[in-house]
Structure formats: C-alpha cells, structure tokens
Chains A and B, each alone.
Chain A
Amino acid sequence: MLGISNLMPIIILGLSFAFFMMARSKATAVSNGIPSSLHSRPNYHGTLSFLWVLLLGIAAYLILLIFGSWFVTGSLLSQIKAADPSLADIQAQLVLSDAKAISEGRTASSVDDLRETIAGNYSGLSNLHNWSMVLIPLTLSVLGGFFQIKRITAEWRARNKSERIIRSFLFVCAAIAVLTTVGIVLSLIFETMNFFSNIGWRVDKYIFGTEWSPLAGVHSGTMDPDRVGAIPLFVGTLLITLIAMIVAVPIGLMAAIYLSDFASARVRAWAKPMLEILAGIPTVVYGFFAAITLAPAIRGWGEAIGLSVASESALAAGIVMGIMIIPFISSLSDDVINAVPQSLRDGSYGLGATKAETIRQVVLPAALPGIVSAVLLGVSRAVGETMIVVMAAGQGANLTVNPLEAVTTVTVQIVMLITGDTEAETAAGPAFTLGFTLFCVTLLLNIVALRIVRKYREAYD
C-alpha cells in the first residue's frame, strides 16, 4: 500500500502525458484537417490538458500528504492523551512512535495495552490515509483531464489559457524563493530575541562585552550576561577581513587594469579564465592550504627574525582569504572598467595623454563607484567566509589586533556552537544571534554596494 502512494507523482505524470496525447488528437480531429481553423495549435490543447491533470493531481497529493499525516498524528496523540491524561507531551510521542513500530512489525521500546490499541488505530488510519492519497488525486486528475478534453473546440483559446497557468506556476516558484528567505530571516530574529531575553535583555553586554564564553554557565541552566560579549569576535573578523582586503584589493584591481587595458586579446583570452579558476577552488582547500602550508611557514619566518607567532595566526588566514577574494575583485572591477566608454579613452588619447595617464585620471575615476561596490562585495564575502578561518584562525576568543596571534571570528564561533557537545537548543541562541548579526552586516554591505552601482549606471550610460 505504501508503495503505490509513494509512486503517485510518477503515476500522475504518466496520466498527464496520456491526456496530452488525447487532447492533441481531439484537437486535430476537431480541425477537420484544416490546421488554420483552430485558434490554438493541437500542441497547446495538449499542454493545457497536461497542466490541468498534472497540477490538480500533484496539488491534491501534496495537500493530503502534509495535512493527512498531521491529522493522523494529531488524532492519535489526542487518543493517547484521553486514555492516559498523566502523560507528558514527550511521553505521548514516545507511545505513538512505539505504536507505529508495533503496527509496522518493528521492535518497540516497550509493549502494553495502550500501545497495542493505538497501534491498531494507527494501522487503520494510515491505511485510510494511504488510500485517500491514491484515490483522491487520481479521481481529480482524471475528472480534470476529461473536463478539459470536453472543452476542446476550434475556438477554444488553449494557447492563452496554458500561458496563464504557466505564468501562475512561475509566480509560485518566485514566491517560494522569497518566502523561504523571509522565513529564515524571521527565525533568525525570533531566536535572537529569545537569546536576548535569556540574558535579561542586556543587549549592551552582547555588543560591548569583551568576554565570549556563552556556554560557561550552561550546566546550571543559566546564561551569564557578562560572558556573552561579542567584541573579541567582531575584532577578530574585522582583523582578518582587513588583512584579506589589503591582499585582495591592490592585486585584484591591478590585475583588472592590466587585463582590461594593457593585455593583448590573446593574453586576456587565457589569463581571465585562469584567474576565474581561483574562484572555483573550494574554500575548504584554501583552508587547509592556510593551516598546513602557510601558517607554519609564517611561524618559521617569524621565529627566524625573533618574533613569536602563534601556529594559527590571523595573518595566515587573512592572506589566504585575500587570495580567495582576488578573482572577485578583479572580475567585477574588470567589468566596470570595460564599461567605461571607449569614447572617454579616445578623448584622453586625443589630447596627448599616455595610457597610464588615461587610466589613472579618466578611466579609474569614471569606474570608481563600480570598483567601490566590488570591494564592498568582497568585504561581505570575507566577513561571511567560514572554512578558511575554522582551519587557520583559531578558536579562542582572544581580544587582540596583533595579526601574529590567534583570533577567532563570528563564523568560527557559530560552527563551534553548533558542532560542539552542547545540546543544540542551548547552543542555538548565541549561534543564531551571531548569525543574525552577520546577516545584518553583509546585508548592509550589499545594499550599499548595489546603491553605488545603481548610481553609477545612471551617471554614465
């Protein structure tokens, strides 16, 4: 039984194709061999029936799948509660999962009368559910299909109708993307509020505190507002981002200038893709490159000149992150530099300016807003980068601006909280709050970057 209901999407798809063929041949028949007498070509009639059958069937199937199991679980839980009011929610759920196991012939954690009764009810209800998931979508699909086929005449505007259905379908897809984003942001906000209420709304302690050890009091079930200061994380993130941008901006920008104005077409043809390959390297590879190759090397050099360098240093993580961001900066800058009209360059050459003078005094000022936004996008990339810092930057929340010491970043702390031993629910509060902070920062950077780009476009196109 379970098998058939799981196969329903494929069955409905097959049915849709069948109705496609039927509708198409009916339309062909209606035309009496004169194709131009039809308002819509046979394929459009076929498509309309196809879409009706498919969407009706799938929609009914999904609704039954989601609400059906919700209804089954809900009614069984209320039966359990009615039989034994002393059970807590979590115990009732345990009873239910045992009952399911009994009815499906698996081993339950314990067997008693209540569980046996519920198991009996469960198999009845779940049978009903499975059957309804097969029969209702099938009936609706077939009825819908025949309804459409009946409507086929020479004048029937299947072409416009099917287009309207496709348009609504596209709208639904767009809506899903937007709603998902909204949902994620909302959950971030709620968890953040929850965390702040746990520390007695001492938001100032979070923003200005200098000690980060949010799980220190977890065993006593409280969170200490004095130990959730995120300043060390912000400083660490900022330090690494700064190092990364010091590496990425000059190299990326100069590479872009070379590629757009100096390189011959042949050099450009292979150099630009090569540079973009850098962007395709997984960040985890950069991460262990930083941790295993660069960090010990920096430590060695430091020791050679008598500096003490931590084995996980901000410098190593920042440099490698900078290398990762180079293709971003160079590719975006290259685009904006190329977008500066050739006529401006010609105007400058025509006045007896050299190439370098033209680039410095005409092209770069004209491209500056675009370059700034490329840099801001690079920064938001650096702030959110995780793998490199997890491996190369260190874990201790160490408040320092010395690039030779180990620092930690917001992203590293989120990883530690979520993958650590502490229960997810407790660790989620600080993690979500850090995530929300990060989200706000990158959102702000992206908005600023986009605004600058838009302003730039208005000015020079």
Chain B
Amino acid sequence: MAQEVSEKQMKITARGVDVFYGEAQAIKQVDVDIEDHAVTAFIGPSGCGKSTFLRCLNRMNDTIDICRVTGDIRLDGNDIYDPSIDPVQLRAQVGMVFQKPNPFPKSIYDNVAYGPRIHGLTGSKSELDGLVEWALTRAGLWNEVKDRLDKPGTGLSGGQQQRLCIARAIAVQPTVILMDEPCSALDPIATATIEELIDELRTKFSIVIVTHSMQQAARVSQKTAFFHLGDLVEFGDTNDIFTAPQDERTQNYITGRIG
C-alpha cells in the first residue's frame, strides 16, 4: 500500500526495461522512478546506456530501425508503449534537449514558434508572440535576443543556441524535459548559465539530465541514477549517492577509479 502511494507522486515509472540494438542488449532490466518537479541525473561511463535509456522515455528510439524496447514505462500512470499512444503526441509532452545545440536554420522567433505552430497551441499572432516571449524569458535568453528575433538562430553563440533549444522545447508546454548531456559542447561559463536555468525550470517541469560530469550531477540534481554496462547499479538521493554509495562500482566511479 505504501508502495502505491509513493508511485502516485512519480511522473515517470519504468519497470523491467530492456533495450536491444539488433542482437546486442544495451539496457538490462532497469527500474527507475522520475519524481515530479525535480531534477534526476543519469551518470555513468561512456556506452553505459544512460542516453539510450533517456531516449526510451520519449520514444525517440522509435526512429532507429534496429532498436527494440521491452518492459513497462508509464507517464502519469499511462503506458507510453501502449499501441493507443501516438509517439508524436508523447514527444510534445516529453520535450528533449540534445547534446549538441541544434537550432533549425530559421530565425530565432521561428525556432521557438516551431512547436506551438505544429501543435496549434495559440490562436492568434499576438498569443504566439506572447508564448515565444515567455519561453525565451524562461530560458533566460529574452534580454539577449529581443531585438533580433528575426535573425537566424544559427548565428548565436553555442551557449545561447543551447538556451534557444531549451526555449524551443518549453514553448510546446511539456511536463517533462529530457536533456542529453546539454552542456558537453559548451564552455564553463555557458555551462553555469544552463545549470542555473535547469535549477529554475525544476519549479515547473520534471527534468531528466544525462551528464558525464559528476560535479554537474551533484550541483543540479536531487536524484541520481548510476548506470554501468547497461545495468542500473544504484539509484537514490543525489546526496546519498555521492556521500555514501552502497555499491562498490558506484564508489569506484565517483572517486574516479573507473570511467
């Protein structure tokens, strides 16, 4: 009974998830709960499956032909791999920010307005303007770009591009945002800006972030999951993971002995 009560507060629950690329198994029997209004970090050495697992949460793996996902993943209690679920609609609810900033070759305004236009979120031009301003403001970019909204998004700096991609994702009004190493292509100053932004976005969204940097995981997340060779080794409060890891492999990774 206590178990059920705790699951009700969870945004996403994953049970017994396996992922295969052709014959190779990339993820083995992973169970994870993603809390609402919190930041969950996935850490682990390269090739451990953390990005693969992240991409299961909005079914981005569907776009890869040889990829096969089994197990049970629920968003707000609904099985997202149920045949009645439209993966395209799912991705409007579970937004994604990628490793390399990937603004479209369009103006800054059109980049942010892309999602709302596709989903018909706004009725009028002024409503759309308001939504774009809101998204850019939440992404901490409004003041820097408000005078050049018609300039191409590709002309911004790397850090600005990544914040533009975050603005683009939140403009669709998702409830969960997945971030796949969002700072790995950025310099330390841009990284610090994005980390502050993530902390702020937590008030409205559930955030899942894959990161290579343990310091980043420690700084921004409340929950941390440690993946190793396709296994979820340890999952718990970030503080506990970094101060009192239960598993020897976690201990070795966070002290820099493997990875």
Contacts and interface: CB of A to CB of B under 8 A. Distances in A.
A348 B60 contact: no
A293 B104 CA distance: 48
Contacts of A351: 91-92, 95-96, 114-115, 118, 168-169, 172
7 nearest interchain CB pairs? A352-B92, A350-B96, A343-B102, A351-B115, A352-B91, A347-B102, A366-B105
A163 interface: no
A459 B105 CA distance: 9
A344 interface: yes
B100 interface: yes
Interface string B103-132: 111100000001100110000000000000
A361 B106 CA distance: 10
Nearest to B171: A351
A350 B100 contact: no
B65 A362 contact: no
Interface of A: 264-265, 341, 343-354, 357, 361-362, 365-366, 459-460
B154 interface: yes
A395 to B, nearest CB: 48
Contacts of A460: 105
A349 B91 contact: yes
A366 B104 CA distance: 8
B104 A344 contact: yes
Contacts of A352: 88-93, 115, 118-119, 172
A346 B96 CA distance: 9
B39 interface: no
A346 to B, nearest CB: 6
A359 B245 CA distance: 46
Given A351-B115, A352-B88, A459-B154, A365 B98 contact: no
B100 A348 contact: no
Judged by DSSP, the binding face of B is: helix
B102 A357 contact: no
Contacts of A349: 60, 63, 88, 91
A365 B106 contact: yes
Contacts, number: 72
Nearest to A352: B92
Contacts of B63: 345-346, 349
Residue in A347, A348, A349, A361 with the greatest tally of chain B CB atoms within 10 Å:
A347
Contact of B98 (A265, A343, A361, A366): A343
Given A346-B98, A350-B96, A351-B169, A357 B91 contact: no
A433 B215 CA distance: 74
B250 to A, nearest CB: 30
Nearest to B58: A350
Contacts of B103: 347
Contacts of B104: 344, 347-348, 362, 365-366
A350 B114 contact: no
B31 to A, nearest CB: 25
B118 A353 contact: yes
A428 B229 CA distance: 76
A267 to B, nearest CB: 12
A343 B58 contact: no
A350 B91 contact: yes
B194 interface: no
B165 interface: yes
Given A352-B92, A460-B105, A346 B118 contact: no
A352 B115 CA distance: 7
A341 B60 contact: no
Contacts of B118: 351-353, 357, 361
A352 B154 CA distance: 21
B189 to A, nearest CB: 23
B118 to A, nearest CB: 5
Residue in A343, A345, A352, A353 with the greatest tally of chain B CB atoms within 10 Å:
A352
Contacts of A343: 98, 100, 102
Contacts of B115: 351-353
Interface in B43-66: 58, 60, 63, 65
A365 B154 CA distance: 14
Contacts of B106: 365
Contacts of A350: 58, 60, 91, 95-98, 169
Contacts of B114: 348, 351, 353, 361
Contacts of A366: 104-105
A210 to B, nearest CB: 46
A98 B169 CA distance: 90
Contacts of B90: 352
B205 to A, nearest CB: 14
B243 to A, nearest CB: 34
A347 B98 contact: yes
Nearest to A366: B105
Contacts of A353: 88, 114-115, 118
Contacts of A264: 65
A247 to B, nearest CB: 30
5 contacts: A346-B96, A347-B165, A351-B169, A353-B115, A459-B154
Contacts of A347: 98, 102-104, 165, 168
A265 B154 CA distance: 31
B60 A346 contact: yes
A350 B118 CA distance: 12
B19 to A, nearest CB: 17
A329 to B, nearest CB: 22
A343 B97 CA distance: 11
A264 B168 CA distance: 30
Contacts of A459: 105, 154
A459 B155 CA distance: 10
A137 to B, nearest CB: 62
Given A347-B165, A348-B114, 20 more contacts: A265-B65, A344-B102, A346-B60, A346-B63, A346-B96, A346-B98, A347-B102, A349-B63, A349-B91, A350-B58, A350-B95, A350-B97, A351-B95, A352-B88, A352-B91, A352-B119, A353-B88, A353-B115, A357-B118, A362-B104
